[in-house]
């Protein structure tokens, strides 16, 4: 059986992913996945996932990475309009 493809946006939505990659330093209890704590801090700061709202782990990671997040700008990918 093949493993699900992991992307930055899909990490917290796959669920029950016990595979840990080199940069994964955080285990999300809600979604049961390993991923970088900085990603969790970004999700918390910019509220990119409704499932992450009011999460204590997210609040902790946001505090942990607060200095780096001050300079961080979240950009949504926008496709080029050919018209």
Does residue 57 lie in a domain region? yes
What is the reported pTM?
Answer: 0.65
Does residue 82 lie in a domain region? no
| pLDDT tens digit sequence for 21-78 | 999 999 999 999 999 999 999 999 988 888 888 899 999 999 999 999 888 876 655 5
Does residue 62 lie in a domain region? yes
Contact in structure between 26 and 37 (CB atoms under 8 Å): yes
What single DSSP character describes residue 78? -
Query: Measured at the alpha carbon of residue 20, what is the angle toward residues 24 and 23, in degrees to the nearest 5?
Result: 25
Does residue 5 lie in a domain region? no
Does residue 17 lie in a domain region? yes
Does residue 56 lie in a domain region? yes
What is the residue range of 22's domain?
11-69
- Rounded to whole angstroms, the Cα distance separating 59 from 3 reads 30
- pLDDT category at 83 given cuts 50, 70, 90 is very low
| pLDDT tens digit sequence for 9-21 | 444 444 566 788 9
Q: How many structural domains is the chain composed of? A: 1
b/e per residue, 5-16, with b = 16+ CB within 10 A? ebeeeebbebee
């Amino acid at each position: 059986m093949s493993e699900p493809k992991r992307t930055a946006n899909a990490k917290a939505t796959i669920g029950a992913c016990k595979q840990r990659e080199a940069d994964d330093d955080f285990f999300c209890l809600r979604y049961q996945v390993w991923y970088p704590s900085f990603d969790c801090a970004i999700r918390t700061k910019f509220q990119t996932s409704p499932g992450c709202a009011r999460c204590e782990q997210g609040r902790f990671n946001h505090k942990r990475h607060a200095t780096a997040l001050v300079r961080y700008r979240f950009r949504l990918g926008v496709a080029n309009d050919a018209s």
